Amino acid sequence: MRKRVLVVDDDPSIRASLKKVLEAAGYDVLLAADSQEASNLCDSNCIGLLILDLRLPITSGWETFESLTRRNPYVPVIVVTGLANQFTTALAVGAGALLEKPIRVPVLLETMEKLLAESDDDRLRRLCGYRDDTRYVPSADAPPRRLRGERIVPLQKYRLSRPLSKGACT
């Protein structure tokens, strides 16, 4: 089954370019120019991945991010921006990746493949701010030790507005 990707960008030429590239790579692509259009498409379609520009008319990209991920927190999101200083915010709110404009197609496609291959447990860890690269494997004679993940950001700052639940199509 082909994954459906929603591209949210106010620039029609970027939307058209991404649609062409992603369809050639085997994805079903939906396009939205603003938050309202994106919300309507999310309500009426099963979205597998979201590509979201931060500069949008009417509402900001971060407000759109919050609105769309509130509907289904398991949908991976690639945030696209021309501003390099958004990386920390993207990590803090649980974005799967942040790509700077201009978008390099091979990097985008590789990022999409990684996010779509991510398990639900991995997404939950990312949403909660835990890094999965902090594994500890004790030796056989090592004393018992308490294990815990490393938080990227304090959880109390970015609480989910409702409990996580799987959407009908994830």
79 three-class SS: strand
What CATH number is associated with residue 75? 3.40.50.2300
Helix (H) or strand (E) holding 131: none
Residue 11 lies in a domain: yes
Residue 128 lies in a domain: yes
Residue 168 lies in a domain: no
Report how far residue 74's alpha carbon sits from residue 46's, in angstroms, rounded to the nearest whole number: 12
Report pTM.
Answer: 0.71
Residue 79 lies in a domain: yes
* pLDDT bracket for residue 151 (50, 70, 90): very low
Count structural domains, the chain: 1
Containing structural domain, residue 39: 4-134+141-158
Rg (CA), the chain: 17
Taking a C-beta distance cutoff of 8 angstroms, is the pair 35, 74 a contact? Answer: no
Neighbour count for residue 141 (Cβ, 10 Å):
5
Q: Pick the range with the lowest mean pLDDT from 25-29, 106-110, 138-142.
A: 138-142
Q: What is the tens place of the pLDDT at every residue in 70-90?
A: 888 889 999 998 877 777 777
